[in-house]
Chain A
Amino acid sequence: MSNALPVVDKKFEPKDFKSDLKPIWCPGCGDFGVLQSLYRALAAIGRPAHEIAFVSGIGCSSRIPGYTTAYGFNTVHGRALPIAQGIKIANPSLLVLCAGGDGDGFSIGGGHVAHAVRRNIDLTYIVMDNQIYGLTKGQLSPTSPRGLKTVTSSLGSLEDPVNPLLYVLGYGASFVAQGTAADLPGLAAIIEEGIRFPGFAFINVQSPCVTYGEDEWQIKEQRARMKSLESLGHDPKDQLHAMDLARAYGKELYTGVFYRNPAPSPTYDQLVLERQKEKGASAPDPARVLDSLIQR
C-alpha cells in the first residue's frame, strides 16, 4: 500500500517550503509567525515537500497548507484530524502535519482529538489558538475567557474556556507542548521536536488575532508574559507536574514541552504496517476472493 518515495539528497532552506500564494491574513496576525517557524522546522527536518501532507480544517489558520509547498488539503471545519489519519494509514512513509484553530480543534472537531491521541498515530497537530473566531469576524471561541464580550456574546460569555493543554494531557497524549508566535526560534524548535516525536504530537500555539483579539493577547504583550518551562526547571517526563502547570492556561503563558512520554506506545501506523506484513505473507490473489464462499 505504501508508495516508494524517491530519495532526494539535498539540503533545505526555509524558503524551499514557501509557496507563491499570498496569505489572506491581516498584517500583524500571529499566524505569520507560525508559518515562518514551520518553514524553519521543515528545513531542519529535511524531508522534501512532496513527501509532506499538510491537512487543515476551516478558519484563518487553516489556510496555512496553501502557503507551503507541501501537498496540502484544506478540508472542512473540524475534520482535519480524521483526514490526516487516513492519509497516514494509507501511506505511513509520509510526513503528516495537521493544523487548525481553536474552534476547529476544541469546538466542532473536539471529539476527534482524544482518538488521535489514543492511537498515538504519528502526526503533528498544531492548533493556532487565538481565543476568538476571526474568519467569521469576531465571535466567541471555545478558548475565549469567561465574560468576554463579542458580537455573539454582547453581554459577556457565560462559559469557562476549554483548557487545550489540560484536555490533551488528560487524554493521555505522549507529546504536549505550547509555543507562541512571539517567539519564532522557540516555536520552530518545538515544531521540529513535535515532528521528530514518534507518535501524536500536540502543539498549542498562542497566535493572536490582531483584528478581533484583545489588546493583552497581542504579540508584544505575549513577549512580555511568556515564560519557558525550561527556565522553571520543569522536567518534561513528569506528567503530573505537566498537568499542574497546564492548569495555568489562560493565566500564565508557558512555552516549551509540557510532557514528552519517554516510552510512548507504538504508533498506529507502525502497527498497521506490521499487521499487513504478518497477514499479507500469503499474498492471496484478489481474483479468487470469493473462493472461500463456495459451499462444498
Chain B
Amino acid sequence: MLDNLVIGMAGSGGDGIVSAGETLVAAAATEGYYGIMTKSFGSQIRGGESSCRVRISSGPVLNPGGTLDVAVALNWPDFLKFGAELPVGGNTVVIYEAKSGVTADKIPIVGVTPAEVVAVPFGELAKKMGGTDKAKNTVVLGLLAGWFDVARETLIKNVAKKLAKKGPEVVAAAERAFNAGVAYAAEHPLKSDMRMAPPKDGRGTKILTDGNDMCAAAAIFAGCRFFGGYPITPSTEVMQYLSREIWKYGGAVLQAEDEIAGVGAAVGASFAGVKSMTATSGPGMSLKTEMIGLASIAELPLVVVNVQRGGPSTGMPTKPEQADLFQACFSAHGDGPRPVLAPTTVADTFGMTVEAFNIAEEYQTPVILLSDQEIGQRKEACTPVDTAKYKVVERLRPTPAELEDYTRFRFTDTGVSPVSQPGMLGGNYLAAGIEHNEKGDPTASGAMHGKMNDKRHKKLVPLVHRRDLFHVEGDPAAPLALISWGSTAGVCREALAIARRRGISAKLLVPYLLFPVAEEVYHEFFIGVKAGLVVELSHQGQLYRLLRMYVDVPRGIRSMCRSGAAPYLPEDVVRELRAATLGLQGETAETRQPQE
C-alpha cells in the first residue's frame, strides 16, 4: 500500500486532463487525503497542450512531488512537451493511449525503463461507453480509481454532480465511461500493488484551495476592505475572489485602468483609514514601485502581493520563479524600507497574508508579500486553518487628547506615531511624497530628512527579532545546512526528510521574513555549520546574495540556484546535500597529517 501517489497527466487542450486532475484532487480531499495539484499549459488561450500533476497523500504534502509514480499520456507529442515537469523514472507506471500505435517497448521515453508500461484504448472506451471521445478523461479517472484505489465513490459522485445540469443522459454516459475505466483496471491488474492507503483523517476534514484564493480570503479575515488592481497572470485570482466576496464584508474592489492606478487607489483608501491591498506580478510590480515609495514616506499601511513569475519583462507569465526578491527589497529610489514576507505553501499563505496586514498596520508601512506562481495557482488539500489562532492588528490612531494638538509624524520611541484619517475632527494634516517635518509640512532640511529616515527605519527594527517568522527544522546540531524560501522551501522540507532517511543529518532554515534581513537569526543558525546550500529558483541566487550583503555567511555555504519554470524536485536537493556531505568527509581527510 502507498502513502503517497504522484500522478502526472498530459494531453491536448480539449482532452479535459486538467479538469480530470481537479476532479481527482477534490474527491481525494473530500475523503480526507492531503493533496496538491499543479497545472501547466502551453501559451495558447484554447487548445494546445495541457498537463497537470496530482499528488495525493495520507499525510501533509509540501510540494508537488518528484518523479512521477504514474504518468498518463493521452498523446505522446503533448506529454513530451512538458519534459522535466513530468519526469518518468524507473518506478513509474506509464499509461498511454493505445491508439497511438506505439508499442510498449517503443514509448518515446529515453534512457529510463519504467516499472510498467500499459497501453489503454482511452478513446475507444470513451466512444463505446461514454458515447463521445470527450469522455476520455472520465475513463482515465475510472482507471486511476481502479488501479490505485483512490476516492472511487466520491469520484463518480462528483463526476455526476459536475454534469448534472447537462441532463441525466450525459450523467449516465459519464458513469458508464468511469465504470469502463474501473473495469479495465480490474481486468488488467498492475504487476505491483499500488493501492493507496486509506486516509488517516475522515471525510470533510480538508479544505481545498489555491494560494491566490487563500491570500484573498486571508485578506478579508485580516480586515482588508479595499482592493485596487489590474489583471495580470498569475495573480488575477486574488482580485477575482475579492470582486465576488469583499462586498459582503462592506468592502470594495476597483479594477483600475492600469497597475499604477490600482495601487494608487489602494494608497488613497489607506489614507482614508481602510485596510487596502493590491496584487500583481513582475511587470505590474515594476510599475507600482513609485507608489510603494509614496506609502513609505507618507507612512501608510499597504499590502502589495507579488505572485512571482519568470522575468525579466513579460518573461514567463505562467511559470514560477523566485527572481523578484531583489526588486521586493530594493526597488524604489531613496532609503525607503519595506518588510518582505513570503509564504511557502497554500496553507501558510493564510498566516503570511494576515501577518502582512498586521505588520503594515502596526508599523504604518507598505509590506510586500512575495508569493509565486506555484503557490498562487496550485490547488492544495490541507487541514482547515484555525482562524482563532490569528490576531488582527489595527493602526495606532490618535486619542482625543492627541487630536487637540495633532502632530501626524511626531517622533516617538518606537518611531510609530498615531495616524488620523479624513473625517477625524482635529486630525487634519498634509500627507505627502515630499519630505516633511513632524507636522507634515514640507521641508528641505537635511537634518529633518535624516531624522525622518531614522524614524521610518527604526519602526521596523522589532521585526528582525520576530523568531516566529523563521522556522528551523531538522537536527539543530547538524553541520550541514539548507536555507530556502517560498515554494522551494516546501521542496527542501521533503529533501530534508529523505536525506534523514538516508542517514544524512542536516537542518533547514525557512525565513518567512526576507527583509529586513534578520542578521542574528542567520548567525545563530550558522553556528557549527560547515557546509550548506541556499536553495532558490533564480538565476543569480538572489537570497544567497542578499544574505552575503548583510550576514557573515560561512564559506561552506553555497548557492544552489537556477532559473525558474520547472520547480526543483526534492531529489535534486538530496543529491546536492549528499555531495556536500562527501565534501565534508573529503575536507576531514585533507586535514589529516601525512604519515611519514
Give residues in A with beta carbon < 8 Å to B.
1, 3, 5-6, 8, 21, 48-53, 55, 58, 63, 65-66, 69-76, 79, 81-91, 93-94, 111-112, 114-115, 272, 275-276, 278-280, 282-284, 286-290, 293-296
Return chain B residues, CB-CB under 8 Å to A294: 204, 206-207, 384
Query: CB within 8 Å of A: which of B240-258?
Result: 245, 247-252, 254, 256-258
Q: How far is the CB of B170 from chain A (nearest CB, A)?
A: 24
Given known pairs A76-B291, A286-B220, A296-B203, the reply for A91 and B248 (CB within 8 Å) is no
B268: contacting residue among A73, A272, A283, CB under 8 A = A73
Tell whether, in the assembled complex, residue B271 and residue A89 are in contact, meaning their CB atoms are under 8 Å apart: no
Segment of B84-92, B429-437, B523-531 in the binding face: B429-437
Tell whether, in the assembled complex, residue B220 and residue A93 are in contact, meaning their CB atoms are under 8 Å apart: no
The 4 closest A-B pairs by CB, nearest first: A86-B268, A82-B264, A86-B265, A90-B269
Query: Which one of B206, B228, B428, B431 has the highest number of Cβ atoms from chain A below 10 Å of its Cβ?
Result: B428
Tell whether, in the assembled complex, residue A74 and residue B425 are in contact, meaning their CB atoms are under 8 Å apart: no
What 13 additional pairs, Cβ within 8 angstroms, besides A73-B431, A279-B247?
A50-B427, A66-B432, A74-B431, A82-B268, A86-B267, A91-B274, A112-B257, A112-B261, A276-B247, A280-B247, A286-B220, A289-B218, A294-B206
B426: contacting residue among A50, A81, A295, CB under 8 A = A50
Considering the chains assembled together, what is the distance between the CA atoms of A6 and B427 in angstroms?
13
Given known pairs A86-B254, A87-B271, the reply for A286 and B426 (CB within 8 Å) is no
Return chain B residues, CB-CB under 8 Å to A275: 247, 252
Given known pairs A86-B267, A276-B251, A293-B209, the reply for A286 and B260 (CB within 8 Å) is no
Return chain B residues, CB-CB under 8 Å to A111: 257-258, 261
Considering the chains assembled together, what is the distance between the CA atoms of A296 and B223 in angstroms?
27
Chain A, Cβ-Cβ closest to B261 = A82
Return chain A residues, CB-CB under 8 Å to B260: 79, 82
Q: How far is the CB of B236 from chain A (nearest CB, A)?
A: 19
Tell whether, in the assembled complex, residue A295 and residue B425 are in contact, meaning their CB atoms are under 8 Å apart: no
Considering the chains assembled together, what is the distance between the CA atoms of A1 and B251 in angstroms?
7
Segment of B138-146, B416-424, B510-518, B556-564 in the binding face: B416-424
A50: contacting residue among B294, B350, B422, CB under 8 A = B422
Q: How far is the CB of B98 from chain A (nearest CB, A)?
A: 34
A-B contact pairs, 14 of them (CB 8 A): A3-B421, A50-B425, A53-B271, A53-B422, A71-B422, A86-B264, A87-B271, A90-B270, A111-B261, A287-B387, A287-B388, A290-B385, A293-B207, A293-B209
Considering the chains assembled together, what is the distance between the CA atoms of A122 and B294 in angstroms?
24
Given known pairs A1-B251, A111-B257, A294-B384, the reply for A6 and B425 (CB within 8 Å) is yes
Q: How far is the CB of B473 from chain A (nearest CB, A)?
A: 25
Q: How far is the CB of B215 from chain A (nearest CB, A)?
A: 12
B290 beta carbon closer than 8 Å to chain A: yes
B54 beta carbon closer than 8 Å to chain A: no
Tell whether, in the assembled complex, residue A66 and residue B441 are in contact, meaning their CB atoms are under 8 Å apart: yes
Q: How far is the CB of B522 from chain A (nearest CB, A)?
A: 33
B137 beta carbon closer than 8 Å to chain A: no
Given known pairs A86-B228, A275-B247, the reply for A293 and B217 (CB within 8 Å) is yes
Tell whether, in the assembled complex, residue A295 and residue B430 are in contact, meaning their CB atoms are under 8 Å apart: no
Chain B, Cβ-Cβ closest to A20 = B441
- Per the CB 8 Å criterion, the residue count for chain B at the interface is 71
Chain B residues touching A, majority SS: mixed
Return chain B residues, CB-CB under 8 Å to A70: 428
Considering the chains assembled together, what is the distance between the CA atoms of A93 and B428 in angstroms?
16
Return chain A residues, CB-CB under 8 Å to B228: 82, 86
Considering the chains assembled together, what is the distance between the CA atoms of A132 and B180 in angstroms?
77
Tell whether, in the assembled complex, residue B387 and residue A289 are in contact, meaning their CB atoms are under 8 Å apart: yes
Tell whether, in the assembled complex, residue A72 and residue B250 are in contact, meaning their CB atoms are under 8 Å apart: no
Tell whether, in the assembled complex, residue B290 and residue A76 are in contact, meaning their CB atoms are under 8 Å apart: yes
Q: How far is the CB of A21 from chain B (nearest CB, A)?
A: 6
Tell whether, in the assembled complex, residue A73 and residue B271 are in contact, meaning their CB atoms are under 8 Å apart: yes
B489 beta carbon closer than 8 Å to chain A: no
Return chain B residues, CB-CB under 8 Å to A21: 430, 441
Return chain A residues, CB-CB under 8 Å to B430: 21, 65-66, 72-74
Tell whether, in the assembled complex, residue A87 and residue B268 are in contact, meaning their CB atoms are under 8 Å apart: yes
B135 beta carbon closer than 8 Å to chain A: no
Return chain B residues, CB-CB under 8 Å to A112: 257, 261
B272 beta carbon closer than 8 Å to chain A: yes
Considering the chains assembled together, what is the distance between the CA atoms of A83 and B295 in angstroms?
11
B76 beta carbon closer than 8 Å to chain A: no
Return chain A residues, CB-CB under 8 Å to B423: 3, 5, 50-51, 91, 93-94
Considering the chains assembled together, what is the distance between the CA atoms of A198 and B41 in angstroms?
48
Tell whether, in the assembled complex, residue B261 and residue A79 are in contact, meaning their CB atoms are under 8 Å apart: yes
B53 beta carbon closer than 8 Å to chain A: no
A75: contacting residue among B30, B247, B429, B433, CB under 8 A = B433
B273 beta carbon closer than 8 Å to chain A: yes
Q: How far is the CB of A78 from chain B (nearest CB, A)?
A: 8
Considering the chains assembled together, what is the distance between the CA atoms of A202 and B274 in angstroms?
27
Return chain B residues, CB-CB under 8 Å to A279: 247-248
Return chain A residues, CB-CB under 8 Å to B207: 290, 293-295
